[in-house]
Structure 1
Amino acid sequence: MSRTPVSLLAAGRAALAAVRSSTPLVQCITNSVAVNTTANALLALGAAPAMVDLPEEAGGFAAAASGLLVNLGTPGAEHRAAMRAAVAGATAAGTPWVLDPVAVGSLPVRTELAAVLSDAGPDVVRGNASEVLAVAGAGAGGRGVDATDDAEAAADVAAELAVRTGAVVAVSGPVDVITDGRDTVRVRNGHVHLTRMTGGGCALGAVIAAFAATGPDRLASTVAAVLTYTVAAELAAERAAGPGSFAPAFLDALSVVDGAVLDARASLA
């Protein structure tokens, strides 16, 4: 790996500070289950959420936003039209955008849409191992929104997908794998309670979009986003009695993570 953990950690501190100082406006076309969690995570981080998902408004707003999340969790017809319009607007304006291919592989409508969108030039593709394998054409998807594959098993396919699409690919799991096709980074932070909180993975896609707005280095900004998110999960788990109390503790933790906390807790390889 040519990007060292030390250099990526330094870039992560700078990206987190930039999010806090610039309050990026993140447009979220996301699933109905995760709207509240996603908006609150962005607010806690210091970004500004905007759930603009009408087809007539999505394209123009994406052109003006700092970042865009396209999440395929509940892809009704109007949402699908809004996604296409937003991607076109973001592409024309150079707005960085994140594709989260929720539950692709076994479900035909979202799988077809994911194929179209992954060829439209996302800056980042974020999903669990089964979703990433399905987008790459190397798997049939998981069990609904749950992965049946391991992130490490998807690492090589993720790198190939990154080369093909030009996107950074972030594979979520007990150890997160992030690659631009040249360098592959593993983030070993996090806590299992994230998988027991509604919208935990979906909100990460929006956080990645907020960090992408801080500069053109997509690998560094994605690593920074995942690191910040997973370190916050560790802080929250230390205070929580279980998944129910974890969710509000996680928002509190997102609001206080800073460069010094990242330095103390980061586990990058």
Structure 2
Amino acid sequence: MLKTDYLSQLRQRNPLIHNITNIVVANYVANGLLALGASPIMSSAVEEMDELPAICQALVINIGTLTAEQVKAMLIAGKAANRHGIPVVLDPVGVGATCFRQQTVAQLLQEIQFSAIRGNAGEMAYLANVNWQTKGVDVGQGDADLDHVAKKIAQQYRCTAVISGAIDVISDGKQLAHIQNGTPLFPHITGSGCLLSAVCGAFLAVAQQHDFPALVEAATAYAIAGELAAKNLQPQQVGQFYTALLDKLATLDSTQVQQLARIDDD
């Protein structure tokens, strides 16, 4: 059972979340944050990366459609965010797919302190140097112990690791949580994971460095919104789910999250 209510704080404070994200999902992520109660700013202009962290409450870095110019922006913004003490989230989309992505993520992890890293099992297994078969940005297949993967990433990079999937796994290196909420429709729409990373950023923005419980609540609330959006939909109704998820993020309340949460804590 959840003992926190960061969702209410988020809606009261309306934090400004800076997203350096990919062109495929920028609109959906922005609308998802607005629905949840946060304010998005979507920018990767190098010229303003040093200034934005001073007015934002969190930074989310997503490498989905990576360019060399964007890498420069990420590094500048990430270092500025660290200086200003705001949380930074990394979404290492398809990190194992190409050398460019691998090299970029290695550099980001070396030069920026992240509060959270959120990815699917394939992406996170790559970061943990665990064998896993991936295809592009898809989750792929493997039989690694995801509890071990999450703990290893959290300990190595001094952050909280969030592995999203049929069961979400979250660890800060010591604590561990499994979130059983969700829907099989999530992988069938573009941007569901990217939006979750932004939602993580929004919850961290109001968590006052209580990162682990904030991320457990963030992932749980998002998964429950998905469950509610998928209710009464057929597996093929992905377009309706795409829209319904935004609606449920907007109407979701703390009572629903408390009542519907299915969390196993270790």
Same fold (TM over 0.5): yes
2:131–2:142 CA contact under 8 A, matched in 1:
no
Match of 1:200 in 2: 192
Aligned letter for 1:144? G
The structure with the largest helix share of the pair is: 1
Q: 1:145-179: CA deviations, max 9, x gaps?
A: 11124697222022011011111000011000000
Aligned letter for 2:253? D
Q: Any residues of structure 2 matched to 1:18-167 within 5 Å, and which?
A: 18-119=9-110, 120-139=112-131, 142-149=134-141, 153-167=145-159
* Pairing 1:228–2:221 present: yes
Structure 2 spans left out of the alignment, 5+ residues: none
* Pairing 1:251–2:251 present: no
Q: 1:196-244: CA deviations, max 9, x gaps?
A: 1111110111110000011211101111110110000001001534111
Shift of 1:79: 1.0
2:130–2:144 CA contact under 8 A, matched in 1:
no
**Counterparts in 2 of 1:237 and 1:140: CA distance versus 1, 3 Å:** closer
Aligned letter for 1:190? G
Shift of 1:62: 2.0
For residues 56 and 101 of structure 2, the distance between their equivalents in structure 1, rounded to whole angstroms, comes to 25
Structure 2 counterpart of 1:238, from 219, 231, 247: 231
1:151–1:177 CA contact under 8 A, matched in 2:
no
For residues 102 and 18 of structure 1, the distance between their equivalents in structure 2, rounded to whole angstroms, comes to 29
TM-score (norm 2): 0.94
Is 55-64 or 193-202 further displaced after alignment? 55-64
Is 117-126 or 182-191 further displaced after alignment? 117-126
Match of 2:212 in 1: 219
Q: Any residues of structure 2 matched to 1:148-187 within 5 Å, and which?
A: 148-149=140-141, 153-187=145-179
1:105–1:141 CA contact under 8 A, matched in 2:
no
For residues 198 and 147 of structure 1, the distance between their equivalents in structure 2, rounded to whole angstroms, comes to 13
Aligned letter for 2:165? G
2:181–2:224 CA contact under 8 A, matched in 1:
yes
Match of 1:3 in 2: none
CA-based RMSD of the aligned residues comes to 1.4
For residues 176 and 152 of structure 1, the distance between their equivalents in structure 2, rounded to whole angstroms, comes to 14
For residues 145 and 106 of structure 1, the distance between their equivalents in structure 2, rounded to whole angstroms, comes to 7
For residues 255 and 152 of structure 1, the distance between their equivalents in structure 2, rounded to whole angstroms, comes to 36
Aligned positions, number: 260
* Pairing 1:264–2:259 present: yes
The structure with the largest strand share of the pair is: 2
Q: 1:100-155: CA deviations, max 9, x gaps?
A: 00001131111111112223210000001110111223346621111124697222
Aligned letter for 1:251? L
Aligned letter for 2:159? A
Structure 1 spans left out of the alignment, 5+ residues: 1-5
| Stretches of 4+ aligned residues off by more than 4 angstroms | none
For residues 32 and 65 of structure 1, the distance between their equivalents in structure 2, rounded to whole angstroms, comes to 21
For residues 97 and 214 of structure 2, the distance between their equivalents in structure 1, rounded to whole angstroms, comes to 31
Q: 1:29-60: CA deviations, max 9, x gaps?
A: 00110101100100000000000210111221
Is 130-139 or 92-101 further displaced after alignment? 130-139
2:18–2:43 CA contact under 8 A, matched in 1:
yes
For residues 156 and 106 of structure 2, the distance between their equivalents in structure 1, rounded to whole angstroms, comes to 12
